[in-house]
Amino acid sequence: MKKQRQFCPYCGGRIGKKKEDHVLRDCCSSCQSYFYDNPLPVVSAIVEESRQILLVKRDRPPFKGYWCLPTGFAETGENIESAALRELYEETGLKGRISRFLDVDSYKSRFYGDLLFLTFVVQRTGGKLSAGDDSAQARFWPIDDTPHLAFRSNRRALSAYIRSKKDYWAVMDSIDRASGRTPGPSANELTTRLIKVLIKNKEIIIRHWIDEMTGNPSTFEYHQSAHKRLHTICDKVISQLILWLGDIFETARIKNFYLKLGHERRNSGFSLSGVLSALSLIRKHIWDTALLKGSLQKSVDLYMSFELQRRMTIYFDLATFYITQGFEKEK
């Protein structure tokens, strides 16, 4: 249980309660010094390998004997990302690097008071798996068979992570179930590489697209559009392409999406040329990024580039056709 203040560290007076800015705070009855209770930062790491999640079994209260993500308090003066990697190493023996920030959650603990949980996705880079001082065990659990986690914030973050990977895993499963070969590398190998390139670089593609959209003369109608809205549009287009490459996104869904998009853009006063230009710029930045990351140094990269060009041509031809049809629909 978190201990309450009793005496002022400045003058020794007894601590009472007094409102400041409409908030009831600890206040010294003698010198009138206020004391502020801010949330303590807690860091957690999600390390996933082959759809298995790294968990540790707690060796001390609270929730002794329960499993959780590698979790601990950030130290004063410590970079928050460094704190996550330090806790990971201390509790599991593994080294890693931050892939991305995943989730933030507020939590009230009867032991520590208000906490602020920050969860990062971490890629393992080295180390040997072993339980640390605060852990009874450390092991990987199948993503669909994890035990009940000690902290609500851990459960929330893990659920968010699973949602973020759902489409990617579905694509990978589809590829694994597929069969057939093309000259050179297998079709599955090419598709897998294409999808990985697009997923890994999606945010880069979106950022470059938005930069050009807000300055290109052919898309002047979008120059004042909110970046958040543009991000959503581009993200949907790329996500659909990824799912389509994995053969789990039917042509009918592409048709419905772009018919609706074309109709909405017409009703919002956009020109067809501007909408098609925006779509062509998405295609351009996907292609540019794929070529840059693939580097075309091996024959397999040439095969991958030809395959991406072929599949993208079909996808964006469909998109262009159905956007135009959407524009032609009566209001």
**Type of residue at 161:** Y
Position 188 scores a pLDDT of 56
pTM above 0.85, yes or no: no
Are residues 294 and 206 located together in one domain of the fold?
yes
Lowest mean pLDDT among 118-122, 279-283, 326-330: 326-330
Are residues 120 and 159 located together in one domain of the fold?
yes
**Band (79; pLDDT cuts 50, 70, 90):** very high
User: What is the share, in percent, of the chain residues with pLDDT greater than 90?
Assistant: 41
Q: pLDDT at residue 175 above 80?
A: no
For 110-135, what is each residue's pLDDT tens digit?
Answer: 777 789 999 999 999 999 999 987 78
Question: Residue 218: how many CA atoms within 13 Å on its side-chain side?
Answer: 10
Are residues 224 and 155 located together in one domain of the fold?
no
What's the domain range around 32?
1-37
Q: pLDDT at residue 330 above 70?
A: no
Alpha helices in 127-250 (DSSP H): 152-177, 187-200, 202-213, 227-245
Position 60 scores a pLDDT of 85
User: DSSP letter at 61?
Assistant: S
- Is 171 within a domain? no
Are residues 12 and 81 located together in one domain of the fold?
no
For 210-238, what is each residue's pLDDT tens digit?
Answer: 999 988 999 998 998 888 889 988 998 88
Are residues 210 and 310 located together in one domain of the fold?
yes
| List of residues 6+ apart from 312 with CB closer than 8 A | 241, 283, 286, 287
